[in-house]
Amino acid sequence: MNYKILSILFSAFLFVSFTGFSQTRAKWEKLGVRAVNYKIDKDDIHVGAKEGGFTKLKVVVTGGSVNMHKMVVTYMNGEKEEITLRHNFKKGSGSRIIDLKGGKRLIKNIRFFYDTKNVAKSKAKVIVFGRK
């Protein structure tokens, strides 16, 4: 009886191992970092095709606060997607998970439109992560 149970468990293990059923979810990859200025401004993070295609983005802010208005994602084929953020990111906070239109897309660059009113004089860094 124990051999039957072991045989079933071993078969299940092989199925999970060889079918890819046990693959972990895609990890977040850092696409770029930009230190922001103390004013109304815009900054670009260049990504490029070598990074591959992405389906989701996430923005994280460290070092200071940033009032983020929007970001514009430019794809390798020239199309642009404007994503409204309108959020005051505090130090250490992050955006929602942003689904890119059209599935897996090759990103050329990401432009951020923001303003800062930082009394601490510590520059904020905007970090963008992508998931395939």
What's the pLDDT tens digit per position in 15-62?
Answer: 444 434 434 466 899 999 998 877 778 889 999 877 779 999 999 999
Tell me, yes or no, whether 69 lies in a domain: yes
Confidence of residue 2 (pLDDT cuts 50, 70, 90): low
Average predicted confidence (pLDDT) for the chain: 80
Tell me, yes or no, whether 73 lies in a domain: yes
Q: Could you tell me which residue, 71 or 64, shows the higher pLDDT? A: 71
Q: What mean pLDDT is predicted for residues 71-82?
A: 95
Q: What angle do CA 48, 30, 112 make, to 5 degrees?
A: 70
Tell me, yes or no, whether 119 lies in a domain: yes
Q: Could you tell me which residue, 62 or 115, shows the higher pLDDT? A: 62
Q: What mean pLDDT is predicted for residues 102-131?
A: 85
Q: CA 63 to CA 11: how far, in whole Å?
A: 51
Domain containing 125 equals 26-131
pLDDT above 80 (res 121): no
CB 124 within 8 A of CB 66: yes
pLDDT above 50 (res 107): yes
Q: Could you tell me which residue, 119 or 8, shows the higher pLDDT? A: 119
Tell me, yes or no, whether 100 lies in a domain: yes
Query: What is residue 54's predicted lDDT score, i.e. its pLDDT?
Result: 93
Tell me, yes or no, whether 19 lies in a domain: no
Return the half-sphere exposure (C-beta side, CA atoms, 13 A cut-off) of residue 6. Answer: 3
Q: Which residue has the tokens 């071993």?
A: 10
Query: What is residue 120's predicted lDDT score, i.e. its pLDDT?
Result: 59
Tell me, yes or no, whether 5 lies in a domain: no
